[in-house]
Amino acid sequence: KQEVTQIPAALSVPEGENLVLNCSFTDSAIYNLQWFRQDPGKGLTSLLLIQSSQREQTSGRLNASLDKSSGRSTLYIAASQPGDSATYLCAVRYGSSNTGKLIFGQGTTLQVKP
């Protein structure tokens, strides 16, 4: 069964700390992986998209890595700020069709304390 797991479910850190969010998937035959941010009462915002042939993607203070062989992806946030507080979800795409199958993890809720 194709599953995506994010541990921990919640994380609290002081402002300025560097942190890593984890995403693991059971089937390594992925096409791509996306990291999303969700603020309370809002929709999801796509942060980074890593294709299966890539090892990492960077955007500002965010860096996402992908290791298909171990079934893991990490989202690294540098110099965290209170504005980074949100729920972060990873989603793994399978299948060769145009839409394939996108499986979401349950998310990690991050709180950055001033």
Partner 1 sequence: NAGVTQTPKFRILKIGQSMTLQCAQDMNHNYMYWYRQDPGMGLKLIYYSVGAGITDKGEVPNGYNVSRSTTEDFPLRLELAAPSQTSVYFCASSSRGYYEKLFFGSGTQLSVL
| Binding residues vs partner 1 (CB under 8 A) | 4, 9, 31-32, 34, 36, 41-46, 49, 89, 91, 93, 98-107
What's the residue count for the chain? Answer: 114
Strand 108-113, strand 10-14: pairing: parallel
Q: Which CB atom, from 5 or from 18, has the smaller least distance to partner 1?
A: 5
Q: What's the distance, CA 20 to chain centroid?
A: 10
Measured distance CA(64)–CA(78) in Å, rounded: 11
What's the min distance (Å) between Cβ of 86 and partner 1?
13
What's the min distance (Å) between Cβ of 19 and partner 1?
21
What's the min distance (Å) between Cβ of 106 and partner 1?
5
With beta carbons less than 8 A apart as the criterion, state whether 48 and 35 touch.
Answer: yes
Q: Which CB atom, from 4 or from 66, has the smaller least distance to partner 1?
A: 4
Q: Which CB atom, from 69 or from 98, has the smaller least distance to partner 1?
A: 98
Q: Which of 23, 30, 28 is nearest to 76 (CA)?
A: 23
